[in-house]
């Protein structure tokens, strides 16, 4: 037991984070991409001791990192006695295992990092179930690649091996857990379907806020509907769909819904798990695509969101809402680029006057 006035400090394994400029990354401003990675680490509440940012010309299929970069990382690991590494990119099971064996460190990739953030950010029953399903599917994908490795424990040709039996048992356990969670999710979906049916019968228009994470969707929802939904300056502050009545100048225009934010290389397991929630977008009369115009990669963010909407087969009327105009640099030259996105409004959700262009659009909105 600690004596009075004695401080107890929490220690964490020495951690290295590695931001990678990979050849497939089409981001215009790589520094902004790296900053996003740092924000993911921060959002997860992870402390780190060293940071390394590297550019790769090729991807090694076995290690992801090329031989020279791998040696560079090994030197940092040995010098600083690193025990855990977080990498900004998604890895295959083989790459993760090879890096672990070569560097003698626990390896966390982008997929695991984002899944952990979602796990901590889920608050409602539906959100928790969706994240649990995504994490189980990720665990299953990691388990599936261990069959050859585990079966080798038998050491004889033709033997089935205890390892393979273990893998099958674990796979069956995960599948049973996913099935149970899906049934719980289905009961929640039925309740939402009933509410949707009532709305459709009464012909109540629905506008949905969509966009890249931390673009300001929740702030806009709060400002337009006088709500107090959590709106923090961090990634994935909102996971649960929130719907509020929308009034403009005292006249009810319909409903406004906030949705989970997207991000580059959003784990497929999460897209699958959140399909039930995102299916509400199929019934929207208008999508308000919110974009943080102060981010230098805003055009890439638009592409990411549009690609995910396409994957979900969502094709609805859309208004591009360019937010955070008060923080944008060289707005004059920006406005000429925005003409490629029509219709659009330019706003700042921090003030009523800044929101006025969006309010005026919604005032004249007709379904």
| pLDDT, position 335 | 78
Least confident of 34-38, 144-148, 214-218, 220-224: 144-148
In the predicted structure, residue 238 carries a pLDDT above the cut 80: no
Least confident of 181-195, 297-311, 346-360: 181-195
pTM: 0.84
Region 154-178: mean pLDDT is 67
| pLDDT, position 153 | 40
Give tens-digit pLDDT for 246-268.
999 889 999 999 988 899 988 88
Least confident of 52-61, 63-72, 221-230: 221-230
pLDDT band at 144 (very low <50, low <70, confident <90, very high): low
| pLDDT, position 8 | 38
* Angle of CA points 151, 152, 155, to nearest 5°: 120
- 260-274: buried (b, 16+ CB within 10 Å) or exposed (e) per residue? bbbbbebbebbbebb
- Residue 211's H or E segment, with its range, is strand 206-211
Region 321-342: mean pLDDT is 86
Region 220-230: mean pLDDT is 82
pLDDT band at 232 (very low <50, low <70, confident <90, very high): low
| pLDDT, position 187 | 86
Least confident of 4-8, 102-106, 136-140, 309-313: 4-8
Q: What percent of the chain lies above the pLDDT cut of 90? A: 57
| pLDDT, position 9 | 42
CA-based max dimension of the chain: 78
| pLDDT, position 242 | 81
| pLDDT, position 192 | 79
Instruction: For residue 362, give every residue at least 6 positions away whose Cβ sits within 8 Å of its Cβ, in sequence order, or none.
Output: 207, 224, 246, 248, 253
| pLDDT, position 170 | 86
pLDDT band at 4 (very low <50, low <70, confident <90, very high): very low
Least confident of 50-64, 168-182, 230-244, 302-316: 230-244
Nearest to 362 by CA among 149, 209, 216, 135: 209
| pLDDT, position 158 | 40
- Higher-confidence residue of 324 and 367: namely 324
Alpha-carbon distance of 166 to 183, in angstroms, equals: 26
Region 226-247: mean pLDDT is 72
Least confident of 48-52, 117-121, 283-287: 117-121
In the predicted structure, residue 46 carries a pLDDT above the cut 80: yes
Overall size of the chain counted in residues: 367
Alpha-carbon distance of 98 to 111, in angstroms, equals: 17
The 206-211 sheet, strands edge to edge = 242-248, 251-258, 206-211, 286-292, 318-323, 344-346
Least confident of 82-86, 108-112, 140-144, 208-212: 140-144
| pLDDT, position 26 | 86
> What's the mean pLDDT when you consider all of the chain?
86
């Amino acid at each position: 037991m600690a004596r009075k006035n004695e401080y107890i400090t929490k220690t964490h394994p020495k951690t290295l984070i590695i931001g990678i400029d990979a050849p497939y990354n089409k981001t215009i401003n790589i520094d902004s991409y790296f900053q996003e990675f740092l924000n993911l680490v921060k959002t997860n509440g992870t402390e780190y001791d060293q940071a390394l940012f590297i550019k790769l010309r090729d991807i090694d299929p076995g290690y992801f990192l090329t031989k020279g970069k791998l040696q560079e990382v090994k030197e940092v690991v040995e010098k600083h006695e690193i025990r855990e590494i977080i990498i900004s990119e998604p890895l295959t099971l083989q790459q993760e295992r090879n890096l672990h064996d070569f560097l003698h460190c626990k390896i966390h990739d982008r997929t695991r990092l984002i899944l952990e953030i979602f796990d901590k950010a889920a608050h409602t029953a539906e959100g928790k179930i969706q994240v649990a399903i995504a994490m189980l599917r990720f665990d299953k994908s990691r388990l599936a690649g261990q069959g050859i490795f585990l079966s080798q424990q038998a050491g004889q040709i033709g033997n089935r091996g205890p390892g393979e039996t273990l893998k099958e048992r674990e796979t069956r356990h995960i599948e049973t857990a996913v099935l149970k969670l899906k049934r719980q999710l289905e009961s929640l979906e039925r309740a939402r379907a009933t509410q949707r049916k009532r709305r459709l019968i009464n012909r109540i228009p629905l506008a949905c806020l969509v966009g890249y994470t931390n673009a300001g969707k929740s702030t806009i929802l709060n400002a337009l509907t006088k709500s107090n939904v959590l709106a923090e300056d961090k990634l994935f502050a909102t996971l649960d769909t929130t719907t509020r009545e929308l009034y403009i100048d005292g006249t009810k225009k319909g409903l406004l819904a906030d949705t989970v934010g997207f991000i580059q290389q959003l784990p497929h397991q999460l897209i699958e798990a959140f399909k039930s929630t995102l299916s509400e977008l199929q019934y929207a009369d208008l999508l308000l695509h919110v974009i943080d115009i102060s981010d230098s990669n805003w055009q890439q963010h638009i592409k990411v969101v549009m690609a995910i909407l396409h994957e979900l087969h969502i094709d609805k009327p859309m208004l591009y809402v360019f937010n955070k105009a008060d923080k944008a640099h060289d707005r004059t030259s920006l406005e000429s680029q925005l003409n490629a996105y029509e219709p659009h409004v330019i706003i700042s959700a921090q003030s009523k006057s800044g929101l006025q262009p969006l309010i005026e659009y919604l005032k004249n909105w007709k379904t």
